[in-house]
Amino acid sequence: MSRMFLALPLPDAVRSALAVQQVLLPLPRRVDPQDLHLTLVFLGDTPEVALEEAHDGFAGLRAPAMTLALQGLGLFGGTRPRAAWAGVAPSEPLIRLQARADRLARLAGCAVESRRFVTHVTLGRFSVPPPPQALRRERAIAMTSFATPPFEVTEMVPVQSTLTPRGARHDRLAHYPLG
């Protein structure tokens, strides 16, 4: 069983802009800038046979390259936030691509998460801090205006995620071109 996801890699300039935001925000556990990505579908702990079938589906997926932009920051976790993220400006091509990738993963038998897809790039994770620290983090994120110039996405990549004591290690396994 492997823990996998299908992602859109980000250009160096976008990852650099996100790394600056990570430093400016009170994030105790930052995602390594080299690992910043936009997840299309999380495949969970999936048997190898299903991953091979998903690979075949993703490799055969034909979709155009697209232009995206990041916009805004936020927190996941409701009243007890545990992760900070950068949002993605609305994009119909992205929504269509994600729906197709999700369908292919489900047809392959992957353990796809059932929650609604929210386009984002995870910047960091944290334990729920005492109220003063939580308020400081929420204010910092709410007061930050963040946006990137548009950038082109030309490929999807399946990524194996291995949990280590220092955080997740991400290994790209293939490249599926768009366009």
- Give me the mean pLDDT over the 155-178 stretch: 87
- What 3-state DSSP class applies to 131? helix
- What 3-state DSSP class applies to 179? coil
For residues 147, 150, 154, 160, the Cα torsion angle rounded to the nearest 10 degrees is: 0
Bridge partners (DSSP) listed for residue 167: 164
Q: How sure is the predictor about 2, in pLDDT bands with cuts at 50, 70 and 90?
A: low
**Tens digits of per-residue pLDDT, 92-117?**
999 999 999 999 999 999 988 877 88
| Domains assigned to the chain | 2-177 (3.90.1140.10)
Report DSSP state, residue 165.
T
- Helices in the chain by DSSP H: which ranges? 12-24, 48-60, 92-108, 131-142
Pairwise CA distance, residues 34 & 135, whole Å: 29
**Tens digits of per-residue pLDDT, 33-65?**
999 999 999 987 888 899 899 999 999 999 999
Report DSSP state, residue 147.
B
pTM over 0.95: no
